[in-house]
Chains A and B, each alone.
Chain A
Amino acid sequence: MRISLTVNGNRHDVDDVWEGESLLYALRERMGLPGSKNACEQGECGSCTVYLDDVPVCSCLVAAGQAQGRSVTTVEGLASDERLHPVQQAFLECGAVQCGFCTPGLIVSTHDLLERNPAPSDPEIREALAGNLCRCTGYEKILDAVRQAASQ
């Protein structure tokens, strides 16, 4: 089937989408947007987190057809021009990236947290990022990055 949706402000018409396919697969394999990572495919790890109409979701659990006509923002859509988003810059400066696989999802979740709550407490940061797993276990640097991004 064909789906039409807006991704990072650009309209995409995507053909040959399988009806059971996830939004994550369509983004990565059909739209050339591999920033959202495919790890668990069951909503456990958060590496595929994107905004669907401004709400953060696991794109592996959204049927591509459910995104028809909707607006999606992926990690690729957060930076403007050649400048990183302050959340991305903070992750870079704080060394909050080890293997990097969980980073896109954490960036999107942190972006959402700071949009809703510009000065989160540590428990609020932990709760907001509870759906994003880092298996390098670099959580302390990640928390540093969120605090730094919030302070800017």
Chain B
Amino acid sequence: MDFLAPTTWAAALAAKAEHPDAVAVAGGTDVMVEINFDRRRPPALLDLTRVPELREWAPEAGRIRLGAGVTYARVIDELGATLPGLAMAARTVGSPQIRNRGTVGGNLGAASPAGDSHPALLAADADVEVASVRGTRRIPVAEFFTGVKRNALAPDELIAAVWITPPAGPQQFCKIGTRNAMVIAVSAFGLALHPARRAVGTGIGSAAPTPRRATAAAGFLAGELEAAGLWESRGELPDALAVEFGARVRDAAAPIDDVRGTAAYRLHTLSVMARRVAGWAWTEYRSAA
């Protein structure tokens, strides 16, 4: 095995181009588990923790460009108010030790259906910036996940950053697990209200082969809010509407039975979580008037 440790972004891209089968490692919270348990023996590890560009975040063109190597702990500490949905998801990741190492870029690289940041990124319409020596491109996060633990990266590409627009409306995140800490989601749900364009963003975690949106449910909720004039009046969210939204989110999922939970339980929890977060987000929207 080779251990590649570039100290600049240009050197990292050159290394990936030269060693396309190298496995990129940032916080190691996924990659090192696989190596420790002999599940993976890549020809090379490409350590990205020495690349300073990846550890930066900054506002740019009205959005936040979040470097792929920014840890969950820093998302919580530095971006809790700016990117509330992602920060909520980050607080549910692992433990303090894991949040000190794990990164949003690493979560996208692993592309687990259960990745905690994915529902929040889907709900917020994030884009993933990927790069290679050939150039840079941005992929809408909904198109980034291509299968179970598979993503849209070409063999010579690395994840550079995530672009997220600071929200103009409430965001919420909810996750089911057996305890608060150290839980891989049994199911998870992220929600964003986009009042300016009268839209709703959604993200389902751990209940389909990939993280995915509940597009029809989101369109239904946004349309019903519009039809009832609720975006303007900021009136109460009808219980029946929240319940129906939950049911439609559930219908967007395609879960399996596994060691963490049954498909039936995942569907039930999604309907409950979606109903609840819609209520929480709407209460926040009303109180922000």
Q: A: which residues have CB within 8 A of B?
A: 1, 18-20, 22, 41-44, 46, 49, 55-58, 60-63, 65-66, 68, 109, 112, 127-128, 130-132
With CB as the reference atom, state the residue of chain B lying closest to A24. Answer: B36
* Residue in contact with A66 in the complex, picked from B28, B98, B181, CB distance below 8 Å: B28
A43–B36 Cα gap in the complex (Å)?
11
Q: Are B182 and A49 in contact (CB under 8 A)?
A: no
Q: Are A43 and B45 in contact (CB under 8 A)?
A: no
Q: Are A131 and B181 in contact (CB under 8 A)?
A: yes
With CB as the reference atom, state the residue of chain B lying closest to A68. Answer: B5
A150–B44 Cα gap in the complex (Å)?
45
Return the 4 tightest CB-CB contacts between A and B, nearest first.
A131-B95, A130-B181, A19-B3, A19-B1
Q: Are B5 and A65 in contact (CB under 8 A)?
A: yes
With CB as the reference atom, state the residue of chain A lying closest to B49. Answer: A66
Q: What 0/1 readout, one digit per residue, does chain B (159-185) give for beta carbons within 8 Å of chain A? A: 000000000000000000000111000
* Residue in contact with B36 in the complex, picked from A56, A60, A130, CB distance below 8 Å: A60
With CB as the reference atom, state the residue of chain B lying closest to A70. Answer: B49
Chain B residues with CB under 8 Å of A1's CB are 3
Q: Are B181 and A63 in contact (CB under 8 A)?
A: no
Given known pairs A19-B3, A63-B45, A131-B95, the reply for A41 and B36 (CB within 8 Å) is yes
A127–B76 Cα gap in the complex (Å)?
14
A57–B101 Cα gap in the complex (Å)?
7
- Complex A-B: 29 CB contacts under 8 Å: A19-B1, A19-B3, A19-B45, A20-B1, A22-B36, A41-B36, A41-B37, A42-B37, A56-B96, A56-B97, A56-B100, A57-B101, A58-B98, A58-B101, A60-B32, A61-B27, A61-B32, A62-B32, A63-B35, A66-B5, A66-B47, A66-B49, A68-B5, A130-B95, A130-B96, A131-B95, A131-B96, A131-B182, A132-B95
| CB of A41 to closest CB in B, whole Å | 4
With CB as the reference atom, state the residue of chain A lying closest to B73. Answer: A55
Q: Are A20 and B41 in contact (CB under 8 A)?
A: yes
In addition to A60-B36, A130-B181, 15 A-B residue pairs with Cβ atoms within 8 Å of each other are A19-B44, A20-B45, A41-B36, A56-B97, A60-B32, A61-B33, A62-B32, A63-B25, A63-B28, A63-B32, A63-B45, A63-B47, A65-B5, A130-B180, A131-B97
Q: B: which residues have CB within 8 A of A?
A: 1-3, 5, 25, 27-29, 32-33, 35-37, 41, 44-45, 47, 49, 94-98, 100-101, 180-182
